[in-house]
Amino acid sequence: MNQNVWADTWETAVRTAIGEDGLLFAGHNDLAAGGIAHLTITPGKATAMVTARHGRDETHTVITVPVLTGEQAAAVHGSSSHCGHHRELRAGGLPGCLADPGHSGKVPVAPIAAEIGFACTCGASPCRHVAALAHAVTRRLSARPEELAVLRGLSPQPTPAPDTSTAPAGTTTTRTTPEGQLYVAAHHVWGWYRECAQPPRVCDHPPAFAGTLASTSPSWPPPPAPAPPEQRLHALLDDAAEQARNYLLSGTALECSRDGDAVRLASTLPQARLPEIADRLGLDISQLRERLTMHRATGNTASP
């Protein structure tokens, strides 16, 4: 993508402000790996959720710049009328001629390195997350230079367009609601859940529906052969839910055992064909019945 004068000026300023080639290189790799989510530019700051390449932890990263004062903004708008670009500026654009102080009332529209500030929840400043965000803003300004006017408070914030330039296909990049509430990645929620002293109670009963809903729900025909009957499908769903519930409560990794799973399901599925199950497991019917009895009594599916 070809850069314009505003993207070039921004890139020069943030490179000077960060001042470390290693961080700039790492940030470029993080951006290329799709590590930027929900890039937002508002008056005075650019924010994003940033994940380092080969990392899993997201950080909330902010780059700040001063917003032009009312007098400065008025000077820029007044000077732009002399070069014929005032309509473009008032419409939300940012003509490149305003990079010339003679066209902007001697007001620097682009920030300089000394005015740029950083903040990141990783605790370091500057850091590779800041560098990634700086590169992402450069890319955004290359496509939409008018967003520098938003960043400096020269024009109202435009309706943001979906930013798919830094995220691979099939990923969700929206991390905040329109009200600004922050969504947290699922693996962060799971980590919090596992570390709680008293994990929240898992629901152990099916949801109750009002009688009107149950009466008006569609009645589906039974599944065609050779699919299992409806009662068995319900039993399989109940078994899967029970296994998931036990895993959430205990955190014990699920062990897949063909024989054990077959015995457990045979003890719960309605109208299970025990002779066929015993034959597939290489057991006689008496051995299978012994294991079923043990499972019902102790929950153990191992052979006695």
Q: How far apart are CA 85 and CA 98, in angstroms?
A: 9
pLDDT in tens, 190-237: 655 555 544 445 445 454 444 444 445 456 676 677 677 777 778 888
Q: What is the pLDDT of residues 89-142, one digit of tens each?
A: 666 667 777 777 666 667 878 889 999 999 998 888 789 999 999 999 999 998
Higher pLDDT, residue 254 or 60: 60
Helix (H) or strand (E) holding 58: strand 58-64
Which helix (H) or strand (E) is 139 found in, with range? helix 128-143
Assess contact for 38 and 171: CB atoms under 8 A: no
- The pLDDT tens digits for 32-65 are 888 899 899 999 999 999 998 887 788 999 999 9
Reply yes or no on whether the pLDDT at 284 is more than 50: yes
Mean pLDDT for 57-84 is: 79
Neighbour tally for 148: CB within 10 Å: 26
Greater model confidence, 295 or 152: 152
Neighbours of 287 (CB within 10 A): 14
Kindly tell me if the per-residue pLDDT of 187 is higher than 90. no
- How many Å apart are CA 246 and CA 134, to the nearest integer? 45
Higher pLDDT, 300 or 8: 8
